[in-house]
Structure 1
Amino acid sequence: MSSLAAANRYAVALFDLAKEKNILQEISTELEAVQQVFEENTKLPKLLDHPNVSLEKKEQLIRESFTDLSSTVVNTMLLLLKKKRIDTVTLIAEQFQKLMQEEEKVAHAVVYTVKPLTDSEKSMISETFAKKIGKNTLHITNEIDPSLIGGMKIHIGDTIFDGSVEGQLERLRRELVPGKR
Structure 2
Amino acid sequence: MSQVAKRYAEALFQLAQQKQVVDEITTDLEELIKVIETTPELLSLLSSPKFSIERKKQIVAEIFASASPIVVNTLQLLIDKKRVDEVKSLANEYKLLASGALGSAEATVYSTRELTDSEKNEISTAFAKLVGKEKLIIKNVIEPSLLGGVRVQIGNYIFDNTVANKLEGLKRTLVG
TM-score (norm 2): 0.73
Is the CA contact 2:33–2:88 (under 8 Å) kept in the aligned structure 1? yes
Equivalent position to 2:91, from 90, 93, 98: 93
CA 1:163 to 1:96, structure 2 compared with 1: closer, same or farther past 3 Å? Answer: same
Matched to 1:66, the amino acid is F
What does residue 80 of structure 2 align with?
A: 82
Task: Tell me the CA shift for residue 157 of structure 1.
Answer: 2.3
Partners of 2:35 and 2:66 in 1: CA distance: 13
What does residue 42 of structure 1 align with?
A: 40
Is the CA contact 2:46–2:84 (under 8 Å) kept in the aligned structure 1? yes
Partners of 2:67 and 2:113 in 1: CA distance: 43
Alignment size in residue pairs: 165
Gaps of 5+ in 1: 174-181
Deviations 1:153-174 (A, max 9, x none): 65432224467896xx99xx9x
Partners of 1:43 and 1:114 in 2: CA distance: 33
Larger Rg computed on CA atoms: 1
What does residue 179 of structure 1 align with?
A: none
Deviations 1:106-143 (A, max 9, x none): 23445678999887665444323322321111355486
Gaps of 5+ in 2: none
CA 1:19 to 1:51, structure 2 compared with 1: closer, same or farther past 3 Å? Answer: same
Partners of 2:64 and 2:115 in 1: CA distance: 41
CA 1:128 to 1:88, structure 2 compared with 1: closer, same or farther past 3 Å? Answer: same
Partners of 1:65 and 1:139 in 2: CA distance: 28
Identity of aligned residues (%): 41
Is the CA contact 2:47–2:85 (under 8 Å) kept in the aligned structure 1? yes
